[in-house]
Amino acid sequence: MQRIVIDPVTRIEGHLKVEVVVDGGVVKEARTSGTLFRGLEMILQGRHPLDAPQVVQRICGVCPTVHCLASTLALDEAFGIAGQIPDNGRILRNLILGANLIQSHVLHFYHLVALDYLDLTALADYEGSDPDLKSLRRFLAEGELGPFLPRPEGDYRLTKEENRALALHYVRALDVRRLAHEMSSIFGGKMPHNVGIIPGGVTAGPTVATMTSFLWKLNDIRQFLADAYVPDVLTVARRYGDHLEQGKGPGRYLSYGYFAQGPVAGPLAQRRCLLPSGLVSGKGKVAEVDTSAITESVAHSWYAEGTDGAPAGATTAPEPKKPGAYSWLKSPRYQGESCEVGPLARLQVAYARGEEPVRTATDAVLTELGVGREKLESTLGRIIARALECQMVAEAMAQWVLMLRPGEPHCVPFSIPEEATGVGLTDAPRGALGHWLRIKGGRLAGYQAVVPSTWNVGPRDARGAPGPMEQAITGLPVRNPEQPVEVLRVVRSFDPCLACAVHLVTVRGRDLGMFRVL
């Protein structure tokens, strides 16, 4: 029996420690731990409400736009304007977000995940004429190999040609994600940390010039997604078919809905989204999401007790020396059970609801790989779902940009009430995201966010039930405990964002029942 500690886990966002117990070549127990605490809710306390979207963007530099949006949606609701956002405003918010989703997913597969499967030594004897591959060959020959060495000595199964194609796309993808940020900035002002999304809509309206510029960068990217990203993911899936048989999480999938196609108001079930909200469990049945069913446990988290169940009453405070605790993350639960969130969850919900183009795109890939849909509940299944989603969103964006109307309103005015509450719910690249806020005396009296990676990477709850990632790792075969590549591949398949997961600390006096939870 061996206890292995991997700390830091690299090629993720943020600070994560994973501890596994391996016995007889199989993981018997897994613990995931967020190792940084920053406390943004405490920092927001007492601040002016309008500061919130900009402050919360700094939760994460990879996915800042969704936090800005969730905060802004909560303010829209608090200011009583949630149903009044003009179409230009709604669409521009979606385009700013969509461009960053593309950036995030492309970054994830190529620059975070690929090195687990890509053997760069395949470039050492390259004799072709592609300039990027030639510079990689020269780079290898010169021997100054950071950040590609040291590397996991795992199993690299791609052929030489497949490795070369993946390496080439790794380099091209650096440009693609930069281009995606240029797109986001056309309407968002700058990236990272956009300055376009505000309560009421966006700061600036579209012009024909900005629409055209956005569309043609998008077209370049759509080409890359079709010719490189999706095919590369399928190449890896064919060589690592066993990774479609392992790494399954709890098998419960949650989404709040992504990319509003109509007013963001009313119950989640009534909101039209590109990717719908829902909870899928067991035999693929879909339930509507009831946010009052969300609770958080701190049983194994470095926070004082008092917030199991629906959070209420006593202040919680960081307790870094709390016995039995092992993470700065809390454990969100839905009806007391863990849920997986992210692209796979959204695909499961959309598929169960019979949504197109999700059904057709998913079935096409499953046919190509010759596997059933249950194989998507796996390490590589998550990666496939992310690639399909990226392509779907990019295709939809090409339609949305043409729906913009230059000269028509892009925002509505607002006034800030002395007392109000608001909730902002949206899915994000990594999963379901919610921001809850309370205004009193014209200032923020409470702020709470339950973020995607907390759902996925949180520790055991009060019943000792593991979080989704912990569950996905448990039972995993590990060929070489000195090089637990299988564990790291599962971890990275979730695309964890620890900066997002750990920012929250206190639910000071907040009772979910007090909010107009939809």
Partner 1 sequence: MQFPAIWVQLACCSGCSISVLNTESPSIKNVLIDHVVPGRHVNLRFHPTLMAGSGDAALEVTEGAESEGGYLLVVEGSVPTREGGVYGGVGTLGGKEVTMWEKTCTLAKSADAVIALGTCAAFGGIFAAAPNPGGCKSVSAVLAEAGIETPVVAVPGCAPHPDWFVGTVARVLLGGLPGPEDLDDLNRPKEFFGSLVHERCPRRADFDAGKFAPRLGEEGCLYLLGCRGPVTYSDCPERGWNGGRNWPIGNSHPCLGCVEPEFPEQFSPFFEKITVERLEQFFVRSR
Please state, in angstroms and rounded to a whole number, the distance separating the CA atoms of residues 320 and 305. 13
Count other C-beta atoms under 10 Å from residue 475's C-beta.
Answer: 13
Helices (H), 189-312: 208-224, 230-239
* Surface-to-core class of residue 509, CB atoms within 10 Å of its CB (0-12 exposed, 13-18 middle, 19+ buried): middle
Beta-sheet pairing, 253-260 with 197-198: unpaired
C-alpha torsion angle, residues 297, 299, 300, 303 (rounded to 10): 80
Active site residue 169: no
Minimum CB distance to partner 1, residue 376 (Å): 26
Whichever of 150 and 370 has its CB closer to partner 1, that residue is 150
Distance in Å, CB of 462 to partner 1, minimum:
24
Q: Which two tokens stand for residue 282?
A: 């067991």
Check 500, 503, 508, 510 and give the catalytic one: 500
Amino acid making up residue 53:
P
Residue nearer to partner 1 on the CB measure, 62 or 228: 62
Report the distance separating Cα 277 and Cα 254, nearest Å: 8
Query: Whose Cβ is closer to partner 1: residue 53's or residue 276's?
Result: 53
Catalytic entry in 31, 33, 41, 63 = 63
Minimum CB–partner distance for residue 495 and partner 1 (Å): 12
**Locate tokens 């049983």: which residue?**
299
Residue number, 92 or 394, with CB nearest to partner 1 = 92
Of the listed 105, 108, 430, 460, which one is catalytic?
430
Least distance CB 401 / partner 1 (angstroms): 15
430 is catalytic: yes
**Least Cβ distance, residue 109 to partner 1 (angstroms):** 14
Active-site choice (105, 453, 486, 493): 453
Residue 60 catalytic?
yes
Kindly tell me which of 445 and 499 has the beta carbon lying closer to partner 1: 499
Residue partners of 330: CB distance under 8 A and separation at least 6: 296, 297, 298, 301, 303, 307, 454, 458, 504
Q: How many CB atoms lie within 10 A of CB 403?
A: 13
Q: How far is the CB of 55 from partner 1 (least distance, A)?
A: 7
Alpha helices by DSSP H, listed for 225-295, are: 230-239
Decide: 106 and 390 in contact? Cβ < 8 Å.
yes
To the query of whether residue 68 is one of the catalytic residues in this protein, the response is: no
Residue type, 260: A
- Active-site option among 31, 33, 60, 71: 60
Query: Is 453 considered catalytic here?
Result: yes
What residues contact residue 353 under an 8 Å CB cut-off, 6+ apart?
A: 276, 278, 286
Residues in the chain: 518
First to last CA, the chain: 48
Residue closer to partner 1 by CB (options 252, 438) is 438
Query: Is residue 29 a contact partner of residue 20, using CB atoms and an 8 Å limit?
Result: yes
Indicate the residue among 81 and 517 with the shorter CB distance to partner 1.
Answer: 81
CB of 405 to partner 1, least distance (A): 16
- Rank residues 47 and 479 by Cβ distance to partner 1 and give the closer one: 47
CB of 215 to partner 1, least distance (A): 14
Out of 15, 33, 41, 67, which one is annotated catalytic?
67
Catalytic-residue membership of 390: no
Between CA 385 and CA 377 the distance in angstroms is 10
The beta-strand segments (E) located in 70-227 are 197-198, 201-202
C-beta of residue 452 within 8 angstroms of C-beta of residue 342: yes
From 31, 338, 497, 510, the catalytic residue: 497
Catalytic residues, by residue number, are 13, 60, 63, 67, 430, 453, 497, 500
